Amino acid sequence: MEIDKAIQESNDQSLKTKYNSAIFVIQRTLSLYPIEEVAFSFNGGKDSTVLLHLLRAGYYLHQVDCGHVNGDLSNYVSRFPLRTIYFESPSVFPEINSFTYETASNYGVQLDILRQDFKSGLEVLLKNKPTRAIFLGVRVGDPTAAGQEIFSPSSPGWPAFMRVNPILDWSYRDVWAFLLTCKVQYCSLYDQGYTSIGSVNDTTPNALLCINDSVGGKEKFRPAYMLTDGRLERAGRARKLSLPNAISNDVKSRESNIITASIVGVGDEFLSGSVKDQLGPSLCRKLHSIGWTVSRIAVIQSDVDSVADEVKRQKSTSDMVFLYGGVGLLHSDVSIAGVAKAFGVCLAPNEEFKQHLTHLYGEKCTRDVNEMAQLPEGITELLQHKKLHVPLIEVSQPLSKLSFEFPDIYIGCYRISRTGPLTITFEGKDEKMVEAAMEAVSKTLSSH
């Protein structure tokens, strides 16, 4: 199987880690659902092209594990087994259409072509062909990714199905590393300077890749994989609201010179009474001592939508919003994603923060630095305090992995102080499942 072979022969350890995690998610999904009830949404873009080839590899490896085929990966060729959905739109680039149909022909992909909007099309499709899970090429930097996890039920008001996001934690760099390492074909627009492709009405080549042709005076562009800062992936996409207006708190002329602040604490451990909130009152006292007024202090649950709603509410009335808790790498650490959603921006690896983390941890870091350095897009200044650190890097990956192995069990994790002991909590209605989750966590952490 050429994809698996290319990755295993690569020296890119970060890419191998992302690949193995994605394959695990795919195999897990194929174990949970009959293949007749699983679909794949393909749109011809770079992310879904990556997912297509991951699914090809994942399906084959699943077949090997089940004993349906032998273990020779070298010359495996087969018709793509998953029902594949393609939403064809009048505003789609002709190159995307051509690439989609050519790819379908090359890999034996049977397309279900829909010409309605995404929601209406799914309603019709799922009514005629019962589907319990759909693979999506959503990444954490996408506008639709806020609040999603690797396994996420569809939103209220939508047809009921499980959204499966194997490349949710992949960065722009990871996508291109995969495509170039595996030497698979992608849409030709990416070689013309397009870095993120929507419709013909809202997409242009990324100006950061522009090359001035001194002879003809025409604009030329370097290919998308040469964009060095993945945070600027969507620079060629039109925005409904310009970034400065979206990020900044509307500057209003105030009769008073007193600065008002709001404080938001995030953590289920606060709401359950397991931990006494000490930082909120301490911050109130500090702000009062320098002449600020605190207009509100709130403690909310660890939920992306709750964080986004509270931040939006407070930023409309306060000069500054302070937020603490829920910042880290676990599935329950949702504050950063909530802030991004509140401002209507994406999450993307921050290069300055990435360099800081690399310097801070070096070879001791067991997590992918691109994933650790995800921050809301548009940050122009990052203050790096000497005590700034990202805790739990040794246990975050196994705990996050176990969280979707036990989807009905809430696995919480917190420290009362920065250097204090780590507390892991388990909540669920099924006592046997809670005990199984506790045993799995105990075994997993004892091996780290």
- How much of the chain exceeds pLDDT 90, in percent? 30
pLDDT band for position 366 (cuts 50, 70, 90): low
389 domain-assigned: no
Residue listed under structure tokens 């409904």: 240
Which DSSP symbol is given to 250?
A: P
CA distance 146 to 322: 20
Give me the domain span that covers residue 7.
2-164
Most confident of 130-134, 373-377, 423-427, 438-442: 130-134
82 domain-assigned: yes
- pLDDT of 95 above 50: yes
Segment 87-115 mean pLDDT: 92
- pLDDT of 52 above 90: yes
- pLDDT of 115 above 80: yes
Kindly report which listed range (206-220, 224-238, 403-417) carries the lowest average pLDDT score. Answer: 403-417
Total residue length of the chain: 448
CA distances from 125 to 135, 159, 206 (A): 15, 10, 35
401 domain-assigned: yes
Most confident of 382-386, 417-421, 441-445: 441-445
**What are 341's two structure tokens?**
């959603």
The confidence score (pLDDT) of residue 380 equals: 54
The confidence score (pLDDT) of residue 202 equals: 86
The confidence score (pLDDT) of residue 106 equals: 92
**What are 436's two structure tokens?**
């199984």
- pLDDT of 337 above 50: yes
136 domain-assigned: yes
**Confidence (pTM):** 0.58
CA distance 291 to 285: 10
CA distance 300 to 266: 5
pLDDT band for position 287 (cuts 50, 70, 90): confident
Residue 160 forms beta bridges with which residues? none
Segment 285-310 mean pLDDT: 86
Q: What DSSP element (H or E) covers 296? A: strand 293-300
Which DSSP symbol is given to 155?
A: P
**Which one, of 349, 417, 353, lies nearest residue 385 by Cα?**
353
Dump pLDDT digits (tens) for 191-221: 999 999 988 988 999 988 998 755 566 788 9
Where a domain ends, among 122, 137, 164? 164
Long-range pairs for 295-300: beta carbons < 8 A, 24 or more residues apart: 295/260, 295/261, 295/262, 296/262, 296/263, 297/262, 297/263, 297/264, 297/265, 298/262, 298/263, 298/264, 298/265, 299/264, 299/265, 299/266, 299/267, 299/270, 299/271, 300/264, 300/265, 300/266, 300/271
Higher pLDDT, residue 82 or 76: 82
> Are the beta carbons of 324 and 267 closer than 8 angstroms?
no
Is the CA virtual torsion 57, 58, 59, 63 positive or negative?
A: positive
Instruction: Please give the single-letter amino acid code of residue 443.
Output: K
How many domains are contained in the chain? 2
pLDDT band for position 174 (cuts 50, 70, 90): very high
447 domain-assigned: yes
Dump pLDDT digits (tens) for 245-272: 333 343 333 334 567 889 998 888 788 7
CA distance 42 to 386: 45
The confidence score (pLDDT) of residue 159 equals: 87
**DSSP annotation string for 359-412:** HHHGGG--S-HHHHTEEETT-------TT-----TTTHHHHHHHHHHSTTSEEE
> Are the beta carbons of 183 and 192 closer than 8 angstroms?
no
User: Which residues, in sequence order, are CB contacts of 84 under 8 Å at separation 6+?
Assistant: 39, 40, 41, 42, 104, 109, 110, 111, 112
Residue listed under structure tokens 């036990």: 406
Where a domain ends, among 134, 164, 194? 164
Which DSSP symbol is given to 347?
A: E
pLDDT band for position 243 (cuts 50, 70, 90): very low
Report the CATH number at residue 43. 3.40.50.620
- How much of the chain exceeds pLDDT 70, in percent? 75
Mean pLDDT of the chain: 79
> Are the beta carbons of 369 and 357 closer than 8 angstroms?
yes
Higher pLDDT, residue 57 or 317: 57
- pLDDT of 297 above 50: yes
CA distances from 97 to 93, 276, 339, 374, 409 (A): 7, 56, 35, 32, 42
399 domain-assigned: yes
Kindly report which listed range (207-216, 375-384, 423-432) carries the lowest average pLDDT score. Answer: 375-384
CA distance 318 to 27: 47
93 domain-assigned: yes
Where a domain ends, among 131, 147, 164? 164
SS3 104: helix
Segment 214-242 mean pLDDT: 75
194 domain-assigned: no
